[in-house]
Each structure stands twice: as structure tokens, then as C-alpha cells.
């Protein structure tokens, strides 16, 4: 096989070319990374910074669960508890789940999957990462300022957010900066997909992960600025005493909620769409079948982005909106479930009569489908007005969003990590340990979050520091679940970190994938491709696929 043809069964040795991790240095040492405009390095930078913030978020979650293991005060007072759940939310949402997949795996793999050498605006890409780090930093400084971090919840509802003496503005400004990071990434990806596809890569030959990034990019661009201005307005109101939302000055707290959720609901689609894209990548590989209903999945991504932008007020069913608004938003909420369900049906249909291999990425992907189904279904339940009155602001909601955000996107991130790790780092991790970590995480996750549905339905309010004795047993189960989950997370990360140094060298296509990233060496060269390929086949085309035994190790 000549060095310039791309095949999916070669060992893809990098001996002829330096890989991107060791490419010629423009700067020395760490500057080679933090000033790099290589999309792959930027993806890794995001990975490291994001996982750091995730660890902090996990610690806060751990502390919250520890507090909740018994009624009354356990390890902290109520004020501290409010601050911890606020920061837990801000960090997990703005620093982990929203940027997560696009910033890490979108950056690393989008150009490769479409046969490009980089994104459309590489310097802007680096700037996005810098904004990410700065925004995270600004948000976290609130931990160390007098007054402590905000205690408003990550939703910063008026009027409390303009009354509390805690450090709301750093949190708001941090989120504002992070919003820009998100916007610029979306802008970059949209332009890249329009302009840099390799010859022959028509829209309907793009991998589905790319489709999901495209839909996500539009939401990032069109929705994020709304929360940007809203958070800015709250900051201005706090700082200058301008009347905007504060009811004492004539403002309308419900208007704040509208503006806040106009972004924050589509934000959850920024979170889930790329994760769904990852699942669409993994399932065909480990079922060794082409995806069922490619176009349906592609269009459903667009549909979710579109309809998902029309449902925001389902977060406000109990605040006193007009009856018209309530039934309208409830109806739209039901409708948005349809394209999501289509994806689930298509994934399952892909599995049918497939040749299934339960490698770690597949385990996480299957867990995603299971978790997301529960999370999505409970979301649908919440969209029903009558039920919503009963369960709004209870643990039921907390259960729901953790199932979709963590059980969904979180597991999606871990799936992507296990799927693309060999490609990104040129090493394979210990699969057995990975599967063990998965088991801990799966069991821990459900022990931690399923009881929340029960507690919520029975009336346990969310964001409460204390609770009635009737919930005690469930709270204990939930806390124990958090410990098991964290053990799983720790095992997973140790496994991957060890593999970075000691893992066996990975071939270019350890899983037998059929998209472009598997046709280049592991890790990729700086330029991704020696020559830009011409695309003839559809993605996930396994029709003529033969996998050599020795490759499949």
C-alpha cells in the first residue's frame, strides 16, 4: 500500500511522518500548545481544561450528596449548600456539558471527517479556547471573593439575583464570556462545513456527527446571544441600579425567565445533538452495519434544533403565564420529542441483525440510548401541563435533566472518549478495565438518579438543603449511588491516563470504522491528510468491507 492512498485496513504507521503531537514546533514547551492553531491540539486543550472543570463540578456534586445523606445539617449550612449547587450547575452546564462534545471532538474530528486540514478560522478557534479558559476562571473566582459564590441557582432568577449580596456578577460575566466561546465555535464549524468539504463529499455523504455539529452550530449562533444580553442586563442592573427586570423598579421577572429560557432551552439541544451524533457514529461500527435511515437522522438533527427553539416556556408552567402560552408550549414540547424518538428508533433498527461487538464505546453508546430514553420520556411527562403543576421544582425535574444531560450527553462524552482515544493518542487503553468502569458508572448512575424520580413524584422539592424523614431511605440510596458512580469515573480516568503512557500502540483502525478518521494514521499527522481525498462512498458503507484479523486486535 503506497503511503499516499488511504485504506481502512492498514496499520497506518506513522513512521514516515511526524504525528500532530510531535509536529515541528513553532513555539517551545507549553506555548507549542496554548498558542497552537492546530484544531487537534485545540481539541486536546479543551479536553484537559474541560475535564478539570468537570472534576470540580463532580466534587461539588459529591459534597451535595454527602450533605443530603441525612436530614438537617450534615457537613454544611444551608447558605453554603445554595452556593454549592449554584456553582455545580454553572460549572457542569457552561464548562462541561455545553462545550464538551463540540469543543473537544468536534474540533478534533470535524475537519478530518470532511476531508479538510483544519477548520475555516484556525486562529478564531484558538481564541475560542482562550475565552473558554478565561470565562471559567472568572466564574470560579467567585469561590474566593468575599461574599462567596452566587447562591441563586444557575438560573439566576429575578428578583433574588439582583438582591443577594453574593458574587453574582463574576458568575454572570463568566457565563457571558463562555457564551462567546460557544458562539465562535459554532460560527467556525458552520463555515467549515459549508466551505471545506473534500471533493465528492456532498451534504448527504457527511458523517452524522458532522450533521449534528451543523445543527448545533446554528443553535449556538442564534440562541446564545439572547442569554448573553440577558446576563449582561442583570449585571448592569446590579452594578448601576438601572431598572430592567427588578420589580421594585417596574421590571418584569417573568420577562427575565422568558429571555433566560429562550437560550437555556435550546442550550440543552446544544448539549444533546452532538452526543446523538456520536452515537450515530459508534452504533454502525459496532454493529458492523450501515446506519438505518441516514437521511431521517440527518434531518431530525435540524428538526430538533428548530423545534427545540420553540419550547422554552415549558420551564415556566407554574409562574402564571397565559393559558394560551401554556398549551402552545406544551404542544410544541410534545412535538420536539418526535425527531428525538426517530433517532432512537433508527439506532435500534441499526442494531437489528447487526454483528454486535460490546467494546467499551458500544457499551457507553447503548447506555446512552437507555438513559436518554428514560430521560426523554420523563421530559415528555413534564411537558404535560397537569403533571407539570405537580412535579415542577421537585426532584423529578432533577432526575430528568440528569438522565438526559449526564446519562445522555455525559455518557456520550465518555463514549466518544473511548471510541476516539486510540485515534487521538495512538494508544489503546485496557478494554477490560474500561468495561469495569462502565459497569460501576452505569450502576452508580441509576442508583443515584432513579430514586429522584420517586422522591420528586412524592413531593420532595429541589434545591432544598433539608428534607422530611419519609425521603431518607431514597436519599441514602442516591448518595451511595454517587459514590459508586465516582468510583467508576476514577477508574475510567486512571485507565485512560495510564494508557496515554503505557498503552499498546493503536493501529489506524482498531474498531473497523468506515469514516475518514479511520483511514489516517493514529495519531494523525499535522496536516491530517497527505493529499485531500476525493469521496466516492457514503459513510458507514460496510458493503465491501473485509477486516483483516491482525488489524482487529
Q: Which of residues 156-215 bind another protein (CB under 8 A)?
A: 183, 186-188, 190-191, 194-197, 199
147 near another protein, judged by CB under 8 A: no
Q: How far is the CB of 414 from another protein (least distance, A)?
A: 28
- Cell digits of residue 395: 426532584
Residue nearer to another protein on the CB measure, 215 or 366: 215
223 near another protein, judged by CB under 8 A: yes
Helix (H) or strand (E) segment spanning residue 544? none
255 near another protein, judged by CB under 8 A: yes
Count other Cβ atoms within 10 Å, centred on residue 31: 11
Q: For residues 522 and 275, what is the distance between their CA atoms, to the nearest angstrom?
A: 23
258 near another protein, judged by CB under 8 A: yes
Residue nearer to another protein on the CB measure, 224 or 479: 224
121 near another protein, judged by CB under 8 A: yes
Kindly identify the residues of this chain, within the stretch 399-418, that bind another protein according to CB under 8 A.
Answer: none
Considering only 66, 134, 236, 443, the residue that binds another protein (CB under 8 A) is 236
Residue nearer to another protein on the CB measure, 182 or 409: 182
- Cell digits of residue 142: 467567585
230 near another protein, judged by CB under 8 A: yes
DSSP 13: -
Under DSSP, is residue 167 helix (H, G, I), strand (E, B) or coil? strand
Considering only 34, 321, 381, 385, the residue that binds another protein (CB under 8 A) is 321
Q: Which of 381, 493, 387, 372 is nearest to 437 (CA)?
A: 493
Residue nearer to another protein on the CB measure, 67 or 118: 118
Considering only 135, 251, 407, 503, the residue that binds another protein (CB under 8 A) is 251
Residue nearer to another protein on the CB measure, 385 or 532: 532
Residue nearer to another protein on the CB measure, 187 or 443: 187
Q: Which of 317, 335, 309, 293 is nearest to 394 (CA)?
A: 317
Residue nearer to another protein on the CB measure, 141 or 155: 155
Helix (H) or strand (E) segment spanning residue 428? strand 427-428
Q: For residues 518 and 7, what is the distance between their CA atoms, to the nearest angstrom?
A: 8
12 near another protein, judged by CB under 8 A: no
To which residue does cell 513512521 refer? 15
DSSP 405: I
Stretch that binds another protein, among 141-149, 232-240, 366-374, 416-424 (CB under 8 A): 232-240
Kindly identify the residues of this chain, within the stretch 322-341, that bind another protein according to CB under 8 A.
Answer: 322-325, 328-329
472 near another protein, judged by CB under 8 A: no
Judge contact between 83 and 150, C-beta under 8 A: yes
Q: Please state at what angle helix 395-404 crosses helix 431-457, rounded to 10 degrees.
A: 150
386 near another protein, judged by CB under 8 A: no
243 near another protein, judged by CB under 8 A: yes
6 near another protein, judged by CB under 8 A: yes
Residue nearer to another protein on the CB measure, 211 or 440: 211
Kindly identify the residues of this chain, within the stretch 485-514, that bind another protein according to CB under 8 A.
Answer: 514
DSSP state letters, 271-331: HHHHHHHHHHHHHHHHHTSPPTTHHHHHHHHHHHHHHHTT-GGGG-TTS---HHHHHHHHH
Q: For residues 97 and 394, what is the distance between their CA atoms, to the nearest angstrom?
A: 22
Residue nearer to another protein on the CB measure, 177 or 514: 514
Stretch that binds another protein, among 159-167, 305-313, 365-373, 421-429 (CB under 8 A): 305-313
Beta bridge partners of 525: 19
Considering only 262, 273, 397, 491, the residue that binds another protein (CB under 8 A) is 262
Residue nearer to another protein on the CB measure, 24 or 320: 320
317 near another protein, judged by CB under 8 A: no
Q: Give how far Cα 200 sits from Cα of 66, 205, 211, 502, 536, Å.
A: 55, 8, 16, 39, 6
- Cell digits of residue 209: 456527527
Stretch that binds another protein, among 138-146, 231-239, 438-446, 464-472 (CB under 8 A): 231-239
Q: How far is the CB of 71 from another protein (least distance, A)?
A: 37
Q: For residues 69 and 310, what is the distance between their CA atoms, to the nearest angstrom?
A: 38
- Cell digits of residue 217: 452550530
Q: For residues 480 and 195, what is the distance between their CA atoms, to the nearest angstrom?
A: 50
Under DSSP, is residue 10 helix (H, G, I), strand (E, B) or coil? coil
310 near another protein, judged by CB under 8 A: yes
Residue nearer to another protein on the CB measure, 40 or 65: 40
24 near another protein, judged by CB under 8 A: no
Amino acid at each position: 500500500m503506497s503511503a499516499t492512498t488511504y485504506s481502512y485496513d492498514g496499520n497506518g504507521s506513522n513512521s514516515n511522518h511526524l504525528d500532530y503531537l510531535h509536529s515541528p514546533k513553532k513555539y517551545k514547551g507549553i506555548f507549542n500548545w496554548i498558542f497552537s492553531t492546530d484544531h487537534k491540539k485545540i481539541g486536546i486543550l479543551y479536553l484537559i481544561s474541560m475535564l478539570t472543570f468537570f472534576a470540580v463540578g463532580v466534587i461539588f456534586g459529591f459534597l451535595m450528596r454527602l450533605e443530603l445523606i441525612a436530614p438537617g445539617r450534615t457537613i454544611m449550612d444551608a447558605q453554603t449548600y445554595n452556593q454549592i449547587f449554584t456553582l455545580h450547575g454553572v460549572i457542569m452546564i457552561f464548562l462541561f456539558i455545553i462545550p464538551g462534545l463540540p469543543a473537544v471532538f468536534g474540533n478534533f474530528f470535524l475537519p478530518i471527517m470532511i476531508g479538510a486540514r483544519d477548520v475555516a478560522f484556525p486562529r478564531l478557534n484558538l481564541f475560542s479556547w482562550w475565552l473558554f479558559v478565561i470565562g471559567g476562571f472568572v466564574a470560579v473566582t467567585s469561590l474566593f471573593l468575599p461574599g462567596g459564590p452566587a447562591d441563586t441557582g444557575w438560573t439566576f432568577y429575578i428578583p433574588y439575583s439582583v438582591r443577594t449580596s453574593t458574587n453574582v456578577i463574576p458568575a454572570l460575566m463568566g457565563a457571558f464570556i463562555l457564551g462567546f466561546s460557544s458562539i465562535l465555535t459554532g460560527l467556525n464549524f458552520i463555515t467549515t462545513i459549508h466551505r471545506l468539504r473534500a471533493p465528492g463529499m456532498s451534504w448527504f455523504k457527511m458523517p452524522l456527527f458532522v450533521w449534528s455539529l451543523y445543527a448545533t452550530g446554528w443553535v449556538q449562533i442564534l440562541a446564545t446571544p439572547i442569554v448573553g444580553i440577558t446576563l449582561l442586563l442583570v449585571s448592569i442592573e446590579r452594578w448601576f441600579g438601572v431598572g430592567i427586570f427588578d420589580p421594585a423598579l417596574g421590571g418584569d421577572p417573568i420577562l427575565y425567565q422568558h429571555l433566560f429560557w429562550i437560550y437555556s432551552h435550546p442550550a440543552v439541544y446544544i448539549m444533546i445533538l452532538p452526543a446523538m451524533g456520536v452515537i450515530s457514529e459508534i452504533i454502525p461500527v459496532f454493529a458492523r452495519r450501515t446506519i438505518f435511515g441516514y437521511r431521517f437522522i440527518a434531518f431530525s438533527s435540524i428538526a430538533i434544533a428548530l423545534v427545540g427553539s420553540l419550547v422554552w416556556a415549558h420551564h415556566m408552567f407554574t409562574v402564571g403565564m397565559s393559558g394560551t402560552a401554556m398549551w402552545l408550549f406544551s404542544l410544541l414540547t410534545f412535538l420536539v420529542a418526535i425527531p428525538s424518538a426517530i433517532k432512537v428508533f433508527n439506532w435500534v433498527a441499526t442494531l437489528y441483525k447487526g454483528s454486535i461487538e460490546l467494546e467499551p464505546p458500544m457499551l457507553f453508546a447503548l447506555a446512552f440510548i437507555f438513559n436518554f430514553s428514560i430521560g426523554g420520556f420523563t421530559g415528555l411527562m413534564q411537558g404535560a401541563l397537569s403533571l407539570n403543576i405537580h412535579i415542577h421544582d421537585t426532584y423529578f425535574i432533577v432526575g430528568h435533566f440528569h438522565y438526559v444531560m449526564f446519562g445522555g450527553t455525559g455518557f456520550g462524552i465518555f463514549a466518544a472518549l473511548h471510541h476516539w482515544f486510540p485515534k487521538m493518542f495512538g494508544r489503546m487503553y485496557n478494554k477490560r478495565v474500561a468495561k469495569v468502569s462502565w459497569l460501576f458508572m452505569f450502576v452508580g448512575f441509576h442508583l443515584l438518579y432513579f430514586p429522584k424520580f420517586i422522591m420528586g413524584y412524592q413531593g420532595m422539592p429541589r434545591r432544598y438543603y433539608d428534607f422530611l424523614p419519609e425521603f431518607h431511605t431514597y436519599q441514602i440510596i442516591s448518595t451511595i449511588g454517587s459514590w459508586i458512580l465516582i468510583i467508576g469515573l476514577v477508574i475510567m480516568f486512571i485507565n485512560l491516563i495510564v494508557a496515554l503512557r503505557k498503552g499498546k500502540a493503536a493501529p489506524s483502525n482498531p474498531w473497523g470504522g468506515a469514516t475518514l478518521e479511520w483511514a489516517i494514521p493514529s495519531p494523525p499527522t499535522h496536516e491530517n491528510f497527505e493529499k485531500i481525498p476525493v469521496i466516492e462512498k457514503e459513510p458507514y458503507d460496510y458493503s465491501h468491507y473485509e477486516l483483516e484479523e491482525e488489524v482487529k486486535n
